[in-house]
Amino acid sequence: MTVNYALYSGVSGLGSTSEGMSVISNNIANATTKGFKHDRAEFEDMLSVSINELSQMGRGSRLRNTTTLFTQGAVTTTGAITDLAVQGDGFFIVEAQSDSLLESNGHYYTRTGSFRFDKNGKLTDPVGNRVQGYMADEKGRLSSHLSDVEIISNSIPPRPTTLMNVIANLDVREKPPADEFNIEKPRETSNYMTTVTIYDNYGYGRECDIYFKRTGDDSKNEWEWFSTVGGADVSKNPDIGPDGKPVQAIIGKGTIEFDEDGKPILPYINNKGEKTFIDTSEQNDVFEVQFSNGAKAQKLQFNFGPQIDEDGNLGTQTSTSIAAPSNLSFTSQNGYEYGFLKTMKIDLDGTVNGIYTNGLERRLGAVGLATFANNQGLQKIGGNNFIRTPQAGSPQVGLAQSSSRGSIYSSSLEESNVDLARQFVEMITTQRGFQANSKSITTADQMLGEIIDLKR
């Protein structure tokens, strides 16, 4: 009897609206869960009774699917450097702390970036799952293999100075001093002086004074230079000057000749075919220095031409000799003292940079992101984590801001994307649907009662 059909259709409606209410309740319960992605209940009708060849009668409804909506949640700041939020597409990759876990090859995917470094220096989530990314070598080059993001060392050993860049203008109007350069009276027998700190292999820094003296050759715009350190720095028994203090010691000297435009004449060619002031290939212009504190002998090069970085690339600044007061515009040297990790920063591309007490900044690694062809194919497993299923496709792993992957914001977390106002509206309509289905059941019951009363 079709009245019985109405009863069972109403029962199915009660079941489907109850399941829909469960989805809504779960969304509301996670309205403040960081990185949570809300679900949407999707229903379908059931056609199971054929009236004739051209028509069918429905038998109610059922829950067909629960779809997770991966819309962007609001990004809020937290102040903790290792709190990370993804703006755009992509999931953080974490490896389960249990080696016995076989699902998804032990990898979870999450939008919740509440991370911290554990006692072993590994970046982990609150339950100890290890964040995956790319580690950097001592030169800051990232590996191509995915691994745990961790701090291998929290210090940088010292490095002795081998190259000094001094970019200055030497006033072409200057006249040569009356006397030759005298190490006992360096200021009186030179035109200009500047100071650069240099380091030995112990990381000990000392001041290196560089004096510039205009030569007496009127046919050239030529300058002599003398690099000096304290006499006690290179000798246990230094010469003592008239003032009773150790006399400075010369550790390098040479000449700089400028062309008619006031630019230095560059006598060497580097491996890239570019003109340079120093010999970067054969290094036959190197000065060897042995400091008296037991440090290793070290080789020094003094560059007064275009600045040179650690990779040998030429910069845009260069020394000049024009009609302007002598002044220093740039100095650098490639040595440094021992440094401890002071703090870190994480860039938008996920790069983790360490900032050390000696002023250096080093790339330690980078946090990886995974994207999928079908995010709805991911399966929720709790703990704000997803695992991959065949429907999601293979993860495309790489750095943030590459391909279709979004940006990573440090000191931030992504909020839940639950819209409470919409959830309450859906709660009202679901409740009304439940009431209507219960009403259809009571009405069908009354109809059956009327049929039973026919025998009276």
State the burial class of residue 22 (Cβ atoms within 10 Å of its Cβ: 0-12, 13-18, 19+): middle
Place of tokens 């929290």: 154
Task: Please tell me the predicted confidence (pLDDT) of residue 445.
Answer: 72
Task: Please tell me the predicted confidence (pLDDT) of residue 150.
Answer: 93
Task: Please tell me the predicted confidence (pLDDT) of residue 50.
Answer: 64
Question: What is the distance between the alpha carbons of residues 264 and 258, in angstroms, rounded to a whole number?
Answer: 4
User: Taking phi first (over 0 means left), then psi (-120 to 50 degrees means alpha), and beta for anything else, what does residue 271 get?
Assistant: alpha
Cα separations in angstroms, 307 against 69, 87, 253, 259, 450: 54, 39, 18, 18, 101
Task: Please tell me the predicted confidence (pLDDT) of residue 49.
Answer: 66
Task: Please tell me the predicted confidence (pLDDT) of residue 203.
Answer: 94
CB 367 within 8 A of CB 350: yes
Question: What is the distance between the alpha carbons of residues 85 and 88, in angstroms, rounded to a whole number?
Answer: 9
Domain boundaries along the sequence of the chain: 2-71+418-455, 78-154+340-414, 163-337
Q: Is the pLDDT of residue 81 over 90?
A: yes
- Give 323-377 pLDDT, tens digit per residue: 999 999 999 999 999 999 999 999 999 999 999 999 899 999 999 999 999 999 9
Task: Please tell me the predicted confidence (pLDDT) of residue 33.
Answer: 94
Q: Where residue 309 falls among pLDDT bands split at 50, 70, 90?
A: confident
Give the percent of the chain with pLDDT over 90.
67
Give how far the C-alpha of residue 303 lies from the chain's centroid of Cα atoms, to the nearest Å: 33
Q: Is the pLDDT of residue 4 over 90?
A: no
Q: Is the pLDDT of residue 1 over 60?
A: no
Question: What is the distance between the alpha carbons of residues 211 and 215, in angstroms, rounded to a whole number?
Answer: 13
Q: Please give the backbone phi and psi of residue 263, each rounded to the nearest 5 degrees, phi first.
A: -100, 145
Angle between helices 420-452 and 2-29 (to 10 degrees): 160
Write down the architecture of domain 163-337 according to CATH: Sandwich (2.60)
Q: Considering only CA atoms, which of 360, 359, 391, 361 is closest in space to residue 375?
A: 391
State the burial class of residue 2 (Cβ atoms within 10 Å of its Cβ: 0-12, 13-18, 19+): exposed
Q: Where residue 311 falls among pLDDT bands split at 50, 70, 90?
A: confident
Q: What is the mean pLDDT of residues 50-66?
A: 75
CB 210 within 8 A of CB 193: yes
Q: What is the mean pLDDT of residues 206-232?
A: 93
Q: Is the pLDDT of residue 156 over 60?
A: yes
User: Taking phi first (over 0 means left), then psi (-120 to 50 degrees means alpha), and beta for anything else, what does residue 294 get?
Assistant: left
Place of tokens 């009668």: 57
- Give 434-451 pLDDT, tens digit per residue: 888 788 878 877 877 777
Question: What is the distance between the alpha carbons of residues 46 and 59, in angstroms, rounded to a whole number?
Answer: 5
Task: Please tell me the predicted confidence (pLDDT) of residue 99.
Answer: 57
Q: Is the pLDDT of residue 101 over 60?
A: no
Q: Is the pLDDT of residue 239 over 90?
A: no
